[in-house]
Structure 1
């Protein structure tokens, strides 16, 4: 009479613990820290300096890795002081198992500081699914202009590296324009120079805006004029939001324009005071400041909304706005439409809001 309950108890224990993915991962990672039933993990095998305050990590990925297309981004998750933190970076795949992650140390940036200063060979990072539509390979245009500022060069490097590696670069008329403050900020400079020598239809132009011996200017109309007719040209831009906004205005005549801003450099917002946000799912009412992103405002109120890239690309933070007026931090466009989707990382409150959070 007691055999069956004991047998069921054993089966339940086996099902609930041994077959639990977290339990399995815990034990298999005792043998190899990158083994996993479902997680995309990688182990740092090399670390080198790329430019001033920039580091390139070579990472060996496990078999679960979903390698994105050149130019796409991956969420990168690390554990710092028992907290899982996620940021978004471009990866460059160099062979069947390895990727390069190049990043710039951001002041007060927890993840970038850890990866640049603390991470060592052997440390493990986790990746999320790739995303992003700024891709040469998916568009038919063969006349391409790439505009990069600062660490916005990383997706451009990934695309050029892959095109050169596969020989496809010979079929493109591709122009790279790259802005940094000083010459020691230039990343992949030698690679771009050598590639330009090998492929005559690839041109590389670097602009150092704060070097004493140069008078290079920021992106302006003269750079557009140097590019000639844009009607059959695809233009991709990546950098701080101010740079991307300027590129969008200047290259409006391009046949195709795609851009990604990797940091929020908001236009001047004079809003002061507070608004009330009502969260329908948690049934909370919060008083938050105007003029900052809703994501930051909610986190300051000790809420923990889902977020990813924090720059308006991945859409992880998107939620349903029931009512109220919001303002896009990047371009200052206002949205009073009820029932719309809202990315809380790049929008601030202009009025009281009701959010489906």
Structure 2
């Protein structure tokens, strides 16, 4: 921004810069209520089974998101499925979004992306959403612990901090099966070399003779963590990765006497697929009726009883059904469905647009029946 006291002669010298800045500020923000199409601009092969997909809007848009948040993608598989993928890009580079996706054997979403998503292809999305985020430029000392594709939210946070200034005091621990499975290995080494307050430590379960590997070898353990981050008890810990990995980290920290009030994790659970969602117990909807209602699912023909104050998703699961869902708090939009008939009370967290609500769609994870209802599922 040009100072108001700049002299006329200086203004003449700075005119080209002012023009560039003016053009940049004219780029409108991505509006989640109205914008819903991304165009693939680039595909990068990160490892043998991991790709990064780079997107931007059809017309220039500036994205505003917190590092660690995710986008919900509508994928044309078996009609249509939704999947949530964490944004791996820096929030300080607002004109493009990136997601980094591991091909999951048998996973319809990840395999479709790997096999079909090419530059120029368009995809419908919603978001961003999610609450798993940290400011690595703040005063708190942080420790990121990730495994596999759980590195993506940590990478977004780290890239953002390095773009904005420099992490205040960040230790980044990442685990992989083998050296060939290490995602962003070279970039992390470069960021650590450029930012003295960023310390990166990598470990692999095993290393073959075909790969030169001088880092840690073996599963992450308490003695290993103490070498990687000697003062880990003084840090706020963010963890992301497979469920068993995060369970092991929790037990390890508890064993060490770590204050678990400073521990945060993001779960990846879509059955066979992965989708970033913030790990937290779902809150129970307020009791708004003493009456039990019937919930009919038009596509499957199932009918379940929904007790007072129970969400449609909870009633379905109690009856042994497994509708597609993830966050269970109305944030990710995974359980979005058409309400064919009846009334519900929906308390969502941003996972559905107003125009979709106007079209009769609901999120079953946060919708409590006010009458007998029929849902298109």
* 8 A Cα contact 2:64 2:94, kept in partner: no
The equivalent residue for 2:127 is 129
* Counterpart in the other structure of 1:157: 155
- What's the offset of the Cα at 1:65? 7.4
Query: Who is 2:39 aligned against?
Result: 43
Distance 1:159 1:138, change over 3 A: closer
Q: Which residue of the other structure, out of 235, 242, 257, is the alignment partner of 2:263?
A: 257
**Would the alpha carbon gap of residues 247 and 312 (structure 1) be closer, same or farther in structure 2, given more than 3 Å must change?**
farther
Deviation digits for residues 253-296 of structure 1, max 9, x if unmatched? 14611101214789xxxxxxxxxxx973238259xxxxxx9499
Paired with 1:148 and 1:263, the residues of 2 have a C-alpha distance of 15
Contact 1:86 1:308 in 2 (8 A): no
Q: TM-score, normalised by structure 2?
A: 0.61
TM-score by length of 1: 0.64
* 2:295 paired residue number: 281
Q: How many residues get paired?
A: 266
Give the equivalent residue in structure 1 for 2:226: 225
In 2, Cα distance between the equivalents of 1:53 and 1:40? 28
Query: For the Cα contact (< 8 Å) 2:270–2:326, is it kept in 1?
Result: no
**CA shift for structure 1 position 42:** 0.6
Rounded Cα–Cα distance in structure 2 between residues aligned with 1:314 and 1:308: 7
Aligned match for 1:200, one of 196, 203, 224: 196
Q: CA deviation at 1:250?
A: 1.9
The Cα of 1:89 is off from its aligned counterpart by 0.9
* CA separation of 1:109 and 1:265: change in aligned 2, threshold 3 A: closer
Greater displacement, 100-109 / 308-317 = 308-317
How far apart, in 1, do the equivalents of 2:106 and 2:324 lie?
21
Distance change in 2, residues 1:298/1:251 (3 Å): same
Look up the SS of the partner of 1:155 in the other structure: helix
Q: What is the distance in 2 between the residues matched to 1:295 and 1:146? A: 36
1:68 and 1:108 map into 2 onto residues whose CA distance is 31
Counterpart for residue 71 of structure 2: 74
Moved more, 244-253 or 141-150: 244-253
Give 1:297 deviation, angstroms: 4.9
Structure 1 residues 128, 173: closer, same or farther in 2, change over 3 A? same
Greater shift after overlay, 51-60 or 131-140? 131-140
- Against the structure 1 CA distance between its residues 87 and 311, is the aligned structure 2 distance closer, same or farther, given a 3 Å change threshold? farther
Matched, 1:307 2:325: yes
CA RMSD of aligned residues (A): 3.8
Deviation at 1:84, TM superposition (A): 1.9
Which residues of 2 match residues 134-145 of structure 1 at below 5 A?
A: 134-137=132-135, 142-145=140-143
Q: Is the 1:61–1:99 contact (alpha carbons within 8 Å) kept by the matching residues of 2?
A: no
Q: Distance in 2 between matches of 1:117 and 1:310?
A: 30
Q: How does 1:160-239 map to 2 (within 5 A)?
A: 160-169=158-167, 172-213=168-209, 216-226=217-227, 227-239=229-241
CA distance in 1, matches of 2:32, 2:222: 51
Which of residues 108, 115, 133 is equivalent to 1:117?
115
Task: Kindly indicate whether the alpha-carbon contact (under 8 Å) linking 1:235 and 1:251 is maintained by their aligned counterparts in 2.
Answer: no
Q: Structure 2: where are the runs of 5+ without partners? A: 1-29, 273-291, 297-301, 306-315, 337-363, 367-373
SS in 2 for 1:120: coil
Partner-residue secondary structure (3-state), 2:84? strand
- Secondary structure of 1:168's match? coil
Q: 1:152 to 1:312 in 2, by over 3 A?
A: farther
In structure 2, the partner of 1:56 is 52
Q: Is the Cα contact below 8 Å between 1:77 and 1:127 reproduced in 2?
A: yes
CA–CA distance in 1 between the matches of 2:113 and 2:32? 22
Q: Distance in 2 between matches of 1:35 and 1:202?
A: 34
The answer as to whether partners of 1:68 and 1:74 remain within 8 angstroms in 2 is: no
SS of the residue 2:241 aligns to = strand
